[in-house]
Every structure is written in C-alpha cells, then in structure tokens.
Amino acid sequence: MVSQVKVQPSGHVFDVEEHETILEAALRQGIGLPYGCRNGACGACRGKVVSGEVSTEGYAEQALSEQDRVQGYSLFCCAHPKGDVTIEANELTSAGQIQIKTLPCRVESIEKIHDVAVLRLKLPVSERLQFLAGQYIDILMKDGKKRSFSIANAPHDDAFIELHIRHQPGGSFSEYVFHQMKEREIMRFKGPMGSFFLREDSDKPIILVASGTGFAPIKGIVEHALFTGCQRPIVLYWGARTKPDLYLSALAERWQAEQPALFRYVPVLSEASAADAWSGRTGFVHQAVLDDFADLSGHQVYACGAPIMVEAAHRSFTTERGLPESEFFSDAFFLSKDMLPK
C-alpha cells in the first residue's frame, strides 16, 4: 500500500511505499527533511504528526519520550505511515540550514585507481552526515592542519563518506594516503561545507564540467539526480590529460547506457597519447562545451576542478554564450602550500 505524506508549512507532498519510513521516502524524492543518525538514536528527525497515524518502532527512549508521543511527535527515520498523513517539519533547502559537525570516522576501504585513491569512511553507528550533493568536508589532521575534499557519494547513500584523492608526488598528505594509510584507521572530519550543490528548484537543463578529481562532487550530483527521478537533461563533460586519468569513466558510461534519454557523457583528453588509442574529443574541456552549445542562456552549469578550467569556463560561458551569472556554480580545487610537492 502506498501512503501519501504532506509536509507543512511547505505544502510538499510525497508517496511512501509500504516498506519505507517517512524519512527514506522523503530522501528518495528530494524532500529535505532533517536527520542525523537515521536509526532512532539522536532525535534530529523529530517532527509532529498533524493528522493521520504512524507506527514508530526501534528508537531510543531519550530520542522520543512518552510525553513527545502523547503530544503527536514522531521520529521520521523510524515512522511508517498508516495511510495518508500530514506532518510538520522544517525542510532544509540550503547549505546554511544543515548542521556542520565534527565527527570521528574509520577508514573502511582504500581503492587505488590509476593515481587516485577512493576512500570510503565509516561513521559511528549512531551518526550519519546530512549533506547536499556536491558539498565537501575537511579532514582534520593530528598536526592541526586540514585537507578539504569533495563528497563523492549522494546524500541518500550515506552509510559511508566517499572521497577521491589524487596522488601528488611529494605532497605530504597524498603520499601518506598512498603509502601509509591503513584500513580501520581512525580520523576526524568537519562538515558538510560549501555552496557547490545541485539547485533542485530549477527546471533548466544541466551541464556538468569536470577536470581530474573534480569528477568527485559531480558524481554525487549525478547519482542524486538519477536517484530522485530528476527529469532535467544532463550532459557531463569530463576533461583529463590521458585516458587513464578518467579513472571512473566506465561509471559515467554506465549512467549514459542506463539513462540515454536523460544523461549524456562527453570525455575530453587534452594530451592523448598513442597508447590511449583515443578516437574521442580532444582539447580543453570547456572548449568542448563551447563547440556544442551556441546558446547557454537557458541552462545551468556546474564546474569543478582546476582553477584555470573553472575560470575559463565561467568567462567564456557568460560572455560568449549568454549564460546568466546566477546560473554558473563552481568549485575550484586549490592546493594549499603544504599539499604541494616539496
């Protein structure tokens, strides 16, 4: 049986399948209900049931008291509707509304693909990180320094935090990740942060432009858009020097194969070698966009990667193709001095 949930004061309405909690269904359909642990321990998803009934099971008493229940409150991560219901909750629609936390994490896995380490970080059982697709976290080092990395997974897939770290020969942190970091190692981070995230209040076609590991937040954005059923056409341009630098190209190709009417992938190499046997697009990635689009006035653009690429894309898209300034969103990857080779 499918139930319908209406959210006050926004007026948003979404469906809940029989096996889903209210929170699970909300996240699946892009409704930004607040949450923390997602297992009934923290109380961050607490809200009022205005009308209708829900069954709430498997939660900690300190997160929802008997008095709370009498007054009509529930934990939406543990609540299953019994028919149609109306709830009262403050939806999160911007980065500024999401709580920034400092949390411990454990290195669950380290997968090395070419010169990129894909880290998956496990949070404590009682914690989850609520974030918007495309945001980043700061890894807090024991020496007091921090390293900023984009979150590469989508908000609904938050059992782990995924980071993509390129090896910088001589760079202190990337050398540590590639040669010393061990699985089950404990780290700390602060987040989420950043204003680079998918704007879901628009119906404009989306152009994504990435260079190198700028693919990381783009990956989170694409996975979120596909998961929530976004119907806006999406084109991803991913630029790299050589073919191996497109370290997850097979994933982007899979998105295109599964959603050919919605998603298109355009890889671009700037220094293709004979060994690449490359027959695809070449040159600068932002130029590939310029070659394909004579008019960007009706689009949104999300660009992430090397500062020179982001700056060139911004300048050429707005001055040469009519892209409104307000529809260009970017995250340029700057290396701090201590991350550079010594």
Task: Report residue 338's pLDDT band, with 50, 70 and 90 as the boundaries.
Answer: very low
Token pair listed for 315 = 């300048």
Task: Report residue 334's pLDDT band, with 50, 70 and 90 as the boundaries.
Answer: low
Token pair listed for 55 = 């069954």
What are the E-state strand segments in the chain?
3-8, 13-16, 46-51, 54-56, 73-75, 79-81, 85-88, 101-113, 116-122, 136-140, 146-150, 160-166, 186-193, 206-211, 234-240, 263-269, 281-282, 300-305, 328-332
CATH of the domain at 26: 3.10.20.30
One domain for residues 252 and 311: yes
Is residue 137 situated within a structural domain? Answer: yes
Model confidence pTM above 0.95:
no
| The pLDDT value given to residue 335 | 54
Q: Note down the domain range covering 145.
A: 96-193
| Distant-in-sequence, close-in-space partners of 194: CB < 8 Å, separation ≥ 6 | 95, 134, 135, 136, 150, 331
Is residue 200 situated within a structural domain? Answer: no
Domain end (from 172, 193, 214): 193
Burial class (CB in 10 A: 0-12, 13-18, 19+), 28: middle
- Comparing 111 with 337, the larger pLDDT belongs to 111
One domain for residues 142 and 214: no
CATH of the domain at 112: 2.40.30.10
Task: Report residue 177's pLDDT band, with 50, 70 and 90 as the boundaries.
Answer: very high
Is residue 144 situated within a structural domain? Answer: yes
Contact criterion met (CB below 8 Å) for 217 and 135:
yes
One domain for residues 210 and 332: yes
One domain for residues 177 and 288: no
Q: How many domains does the chain have?
A: 3
| The pLDDT value given to residue 298 | 98
Is residue 198 situated within a structural domain? Answer: no
| The pLDDT value given to residue 208 | 98
| The pLDDT value given to residue 339 | 45
